[in-house]
Amino acid sequence: MLRPFIRFACSGLLVVPLLTRASLAAATPDPCTKIAAQFFVDPADALTCLKSFPFNETLRQNILSVVSRVFDFYTFEDFYLNSPAPYKQSTTDIRAEIRRIESTQYATDYDFNQDLYDFITQMNDGHTRWFPNCYMTFENVLPAPIVILDTGVYIAPNSVELLNQFGDGFSGFLAAKGSDWERLAGAEVIAIGGLPVRQYIDKIAGTVSGNYLNYNNRVNSVVSSYRISNSGFQQRLGDHAIEPFLKQTSLNFSLIPVGSTSGKPENVSVPFVALFGGNGFTDGPSYWANNCAAINTTNGAVITPEGSLQTHPRLARASLVDSAAIDFPDAFLPTLTPTNGSTGTIKSYILPGNKTGVMFVGTFEAEFNQFTVDVEAAVNQFKASGVEKLLIDVTNNLGGQLCSGLFLHRYLAGAAFELAGFQTTSRANPLAQKIVKANVEKGLSGTYYASYNWLFPSGKQMPGYYNYNTPSIPFSVNGRDQPTSQRFLDSCPVPSVQLPSAPPFDLNNVAIIGNGCCASTCAVFTSVMFERHNTKIATFGGFSDKPIEFKGSAGNQVLEWSELDSEIKTAGLKDDPLAPPDLLVNGNMRHNWRTAYSFLDETTPIAYLTEAPQYHFRYTKDTYNNPENVWTFVEEVVLGSG
């Protein structure tokens, strides 16, 4: 099921309020009361509730102040003034947009938040997003996800099995709307929302899918595709078929259903169903109190160290927030038996013939030690079975612990390959400089700014209390000065498993598979394999006539708003005039805090280095939801069956 709804299941029974004389006498009914305690909600009713909160100038000032001061730390800020080709579509004058939103008149708080959400989403950096939780309590599902196959665009042929897992409430809602949606599975799509389907996909890739700079990678985010999450194999519905920020109530399609006798397109309107995943409420005021007002984890807190210096560095995270996905129906699961080391988010298999091992690394979010143990267990079993070739599937891997990505590279490259990652910097703006200075003077540990987390570019550990941010290093982009810290590498814990002294597989016999939705730590892992070992990479999907890249968002580390705020508070700088205030609403302004530079060109962030895979394949009806068929295809076509 959709993961966000776990929260709903935990919120317990809702108390139905007794009607009092006063509430009966109320002039206009509260639009939120109508949808209280419902799970499958009519999106028109949900919108009426969400738009019932008036625009509030105090909240605008507060949110924009946080957003603007978080952008002071954003490593890619000045690149956006004129995004380098082929990423021109993302060009944004960030400060001008904030000024525009500051002076626009909005009818409701929803309209203000939508404008801010859209502007930041359209920068196409999944590490840098504004998430107003108040307006993201629903997953608005369209029961017509699409896929791009070798022969055209289709409603996902397995959409009925997939979506019927939502049960009777879902199908009952659609039946009551008179929708015959199940008939549409597998239909060839001609137009959506009044646009020829390709133009429609362009529009969604340009305005809704905000996670990747490269256009064709965003196209893959629009459509439905397989992945592994903490709960196992799943299928994303794609940004076309699920809205985390609820906007629409229905969408018009022109399509040719499977088995159509006329073979002519017909026009069909498909309704959305809004699935509620927020905290329970009974009316507008309780909706606001439970879903919109700041909670005790919205803002940061002073990090209390447990001892002077931590025993190992604070593990850096780089990951994306994706739209929701649904568990794979059993019929689509791989039929192969998983090897050892497959109980977590890595699932490994040996392909028929015993020549090729597959490691599907679904995410890098697993606990670091568990990740290292799982990699070792799978490789040991591969070796014991005589496997000589390795496929690593990173389809829809949206990142996680940076050190896990660097570990996987070192394990495959062998222990002799000591420096596994890229040179990185953070910004040296005046507040960041004060934070690093405070870390040094107060002897702080447990913070992300602590120098203990970094190695010098030589690989030598930085001393515990070292000021790497003053003096700053000049850096200029698009005519603006944006000084940075000194360069440093990530310091990672010593893994609990022994690194092999030599590569366990000839690196010419290793290939990576993905769909370009490979973000953050996944982008770092694939880039380092590509740049250092010329590893073969096969990227699937998108439009076959547009360039695709094997990696998506390729920053190096993300800080969530509460994490940045904790750094400021721990440094004792919350009262500094440059510091952002606490957020008054329940939301998150995350940002890319650290940039990684390409090994091949140490002046260019890997995020802006266009790196195309050696192989770009289309999905077919046999591969779009079937990883096992993808693997056997790549084994034969890329690694050679001999």
Ligand X SMILES: *[C@@H]1O[C@H](CO)[C@@H](O)[C@H](O)[C@H]1NC(C)=O
Q: Rule CB under 6 A: choose which of 20, 28, 58, 261 binds ligand X.
A: 58
Residue 105 CA from chain centroid, whole number: 31
Q: Which stretch binds ligand X (CB under 6 A): 117-125, 381-389, 457-465, 540-548?
A: 381-389
| Contact flag: residue 370 with ligand X (CB under 6 A) | no
Quick one: 186 or 341, whose CB is closer to ligand X?
341
Angle in degrees, 0-180, between the axes of helices 561-570 and 430-442, rounded to the nearest 10: 50
Residues 340/377, Cβ–Cβ less than 8 Å: yes
Quick one: 23 or 269, whose CB is closer to ligand X?
269
Q: Rule CB under 6 A: choose which of 250, 370, 461, 562 binds ligand X.
A: 250
What gap in Å lies between CA 61 and CA 224, rounded to an integer?
Answer: 38
Q: Rule CB under 6 A: choose which of 137, 235, 299, 381 binds ligand X.
A: 381
Task: Tell me the closest approach of the beta carbon of residue 357 to ligand X, in angstroms.
Answer: 11
Q: Which stretch binds ligand X (CB under 6 A): 146-154, 211-219, 376-384, 521-529?
A: 376-384
Quick one: 378 or 518, whose CB is closer to ligand X?
378
Q: Which stretch binds ligand X (CB under 6 A): 24-32, 162-170, 247-255, 534-542?
A: 247-255
| Residue 576 in tokens | 């500094």
Quick one: 55 or 615, whose CB is closer to ligand X?
55
Residue 18 CA from chain centroid, whole number: 43
| Residue 315 in tokens | 């593990």
- Considering only CA atoms, which of 165, 153, 324 is closest in space to residue 236? 324
Q: What is the 3-state secondary structure (H, E, C) of 478-526?
A: CCEECCECCCEEECCCCCCCCCCCCCCCCHHHEEEEECCCCCCHHHHHH
Preceding peptide of 430 cis, ω within 30°: no
Quick one: 290 or 469, whose CB is closer to ligand X?
290
> Which residues, numbered 98-127, are part of the site for ligand X (CB under 6 A)?
none
| Contact flag: residue 59 with ligand X (CB under 6 A) | yes
Residues 556/46, Cβ–Cβ less than 8 Å: no
**Other CB atoms closer than 10 Å to residue 20's CB: what's the count?**
9
Quick one: 325 or 379, whose CB is closer to ligand X?
379
Q: With CB under 6 A, what is the number of residues at the site for ligand X?
A: 19
What gap in Å lies between CA 128 and CA 121, rounded to an integer?
Answer: 8
Quick one: 42 or 322, whose CB is closer to ligand X?
42
> Which residues, numbered 294-353, are part of the site for ligand X (CB under 6 A)?
296, 340, 353
Quick one: 269 or 498, whose CB is closer to ligand X?
269
Q: What share of the chain is helix, strand, coil (3-state, %, to 5)?
A: 35, 20, 45
| Contact flag: residue 598 with ligand X (CB under 6 A) | no
Per the DSSP assignment, residues forming a β-bridge with 481 are: 476
Helix (H, G, I), strand (E, B) or coil at 174: helix
Q: Rule CB under 6 A: choose which of 167, 172, 194, 463 binds ligand X.
A: 194
Task: Tell me the closest approach of the beta carbon of residue 530 to ligand X, in angstroms.
Answer: 29
Q: Which stretch binds ligand X (CB under 6 A): 5-13, 16-24, 250-258, 554-562?
A: 250-258
- The binding site for ligand X (CB under 6 A) comprises 56, 58-59, 191, 194, 250, 252, 254, 267, 269, 296, 340, 353-354, 380-381, 384-385, 584
